[in-house]
Amino acid sequence: MKPLFLILKGEWYDRILSGEKKEEYRDLTPFWEKRLRKTPTPRQVIFQHGYTRNARRMLVEIEQISVAQPKRRYTDEQADITRRCFVLRLGAVQVLQD
């Protein structure tokens, strides 16, 4: 199965790459429901740092996809941590393009 492809801001990209951030969150919407709940379940995600042509990329294993409240340490200060969302539990990281 093809990996998911997600664009991240620099701070979140760097925190996942360093191993500091172990979860990625996506809103609980029909858009993400269609992509994350399909069969077979996605097992990998390619994260890209921004939208530039030669942006950095990494391939990350998805250990689990669940629905839960986000953890404050993995979100920005404005995030509503009381709302449930999709939680992608992240595993091994492999740099594809630096």
> Domain of 58: which CATH number?
2.30.130.30
Q: Which pairing describes strands 44-49 and 57-68: parallel, antiparallel, or unpaired?
A: antiparallel
Mean pLDDT taken over the chain:
91
Residue 41: what pLDDT? 83
**85: β partners:** 27, 68
Whole-model pTM?
0.88
| pLDDT at 77 > cutoff 90 | no
Does residue 18 surpass a pLDDT of 80?
A: yes
**Three-state DSSP class for residue 93:** strand
| Count of structural domains, the chain | 1
16 or 83, which is more confident?
A: 16
Q: Tell me: pLDDT of 75 over 90.
A: no
Q: Is the dihedral of CA 60, 46, 36, 87 positive or negative?
A: positive
Domain extent at residue 23: 4-97
